[in-house]
Amino acid sequence: MSEMTYAQALNQALREEMRRDETVFLLGEDIAGYGGAFKVTQGLLDEFGPERVRNTPIAEYGIVGLAVGAALTGCRPVAEIMYMDFMALAIDQLANQAAKMRYMFGGKARVPMVVRAQEGAGRSNAAQHSQSLEAWFVHIPGIYVAIPSTPRDAKGLLKTAIRDDNPVMFIEHKLLYATRGEVPAGDDIIPLGQADVKRPGRDVTVVAVSRMVHVALQAAEQLQADGVEAEVIDPRTLVPLDVRTIADSVRRTHRLVIVHEAAERGGVSGEIAMAVMPEVFDYLDAPITRVTAPNSPVPFNARLEGRFIPTPERVAAAVRSLL
């Protein structure tokens, strides 16, 4: 094990996969000499050169379109979109091209590409640079959606995503880049569709997404002082979703709280709840509860933004209401 930041873990995954497979290349805005807006690609230009670490114009539609074409012709591109919000400009290429090709060609076409994008609030980046939009991509058949919360998961899932023959939307939270954790040396692959129990418990299941995993773990610490043991589960991927791990937990705890930073309406909490409901309905002792952001644009003002983002206190209060 080595301790490193989330950003360093992603960098290591990219470096190892580019060394392993010469068809892997990177493209995006300022990813070469500058190392990317969040320094994830720092140093890769020196090792792999401008053919495999390509700066692009500010043209998200073109970035993802280029990745689709490259994937169809035998490469494994990893495209970076500087902010998740800007995926609105590239959604046609991802949803109507990348996601549909394999199905429309009867499995004969492969689209092995990854789109990395950064989401989330907490930096006063205002409403156009702070959204959590994972639910958009969960709704599109033909795309996998990975959303790791720790350095180890970030590295293991990115390596898996690059090797997969289908398009993967790889979502990173901006406030996670500086977080630290242990990462195994070598080829530590994490399969898509395998959730992780971050903290075992017996009284309530808390399913949390992305940075909210850390918020849920803080809430579990607060609840521990009251004698309440919360089990915290990180789905790690939203497509495919590991329903079995979540359902097995709820059958033991009889309660479920789902936490995400995205707005409540149309968020993945509703999909997770309905996915597990047939498995757990007879075991529930209380309604499924969700803790989310409000149905509002993300505020620029730091104090308002702090009230917008779910907190450990809100998660703990939701758990206490079920008990």
Chain segment 83-139, per-residue pLDDT in tens: 999 999 999 999 999 999 999 999 999 999 999 999 999 999 999 999 999 999 999
Instruction: Say how far apart CA 80 and CA 75 lie, in whole Å.
Output: 16
Can you say whether residue 124 is alpha, beta or left, with left for phi > 0 and alpha for psi between -120 and 50 degrees?
left
In this prediction, residue 1 carries a pLDDT of: 86
Instruction: Say how far apart CA 117 and CA 82 lie, in whole Å.
Output: 6
The three-class DSSP label of residue 268 is helix
pTM above 0.85, yes or no: yes
pLDDT exceeding 90 applies to what percent of the chain? 99
Q: Which structural domains are found in the chain, ordered by start?
A: 2-183 (3.40.50.970), 196-322 (3.40.50.920)
The residues of the chain scoring below 50 in pLDDT are none
The active-site residue, picked from 129, 173, 214, 260, is: 129
Calculate the dihedral angle through the C-alpha atoms of 8, 13, 19, 20, rounding to the nearest 10 degrees: 160
The residues facing 81 across adjacent strands are: 117
In this prediction, residue 186 carries a pLDDT of: 84
129 classed as catalytic: yes
The closest alpha carbon to 146, from 125, 129, 127, 163, belongs to 163
Rg (CA), the chain: 19
What is the token pair recorded at 59?
Answer: 């043209």
